[in-house]
Amino acid sequence: MPEQLTRPVKRSSTSPSTANTRPHKRHCTFSAISEVGQGERETKVLESTMRGWKIHYIKKCLILSLSQMSALLEGKFSCLVEYFSVVDCCYPYEYQGGHIKGALSMPNTDEAVDHLQSQRLKAHSPDKRLVLVLHCEFSSERVPRTCRLLRSVDRSMNKYPALHYPELYILKGGYRDFYHSHIDSGLLG
């Protein structure tokens, strides 16, 4: 056993076989610059729309914070937003257990998309916005799926870059977080 301790403990930093070779550079298969640029452009547009509110997005779905949602419900964005609609994608028993005041119950993804596309809501003033906020209990599964489906149907029905609903938002944390932070606010139905 002591004879094994006489060997060197650390390896040399370069081995003779790799001393003169350079590491292989890997190339991206997509344009990272264009994706980052698009995200920055989208965020800048939204920041200018909401005047200083930072909007985050995940996989083409914009995320609205709880404070932004309460400000929207209280009318603090009335100078920028002509019409907004809150779409509750919770199951009927969840909706009956409690919901955001004024929310439309649309638990079925396909029916929600069909209903919203058939309405074709439009802001009458060109400098004001039409906003849709979608949520379910946690806003982690049903709502992102509904949001992506609504966006893809909207894209297929319009010539790029036009959209019926350019501002689709997902409520961060869903009804559960909104309920816990606004239990005494009067914004719950």
Question: Which residues belong to the active site?
Answer: 136
Displacement of CA 89 from its chain's centroid (Å)? 15
Contacts (Cβ under 8 Å, ≥6 apart) of 8: none
Half-sphere exposure of 122 (CA within 13 A, CB side): 8
Contact criterion met (CB below 8 Å) for 168 and 121: no
The DSSP call for residue 23 is P
Q: Which two tokens stand for residue 77?
A: 């964005």
The strand pairing partners of 171, in sequence order, are 64
The tokens of 131 are what? 């906003």
> Is residue 88 classed as helix, strand or coil in its secondary structure?
strand
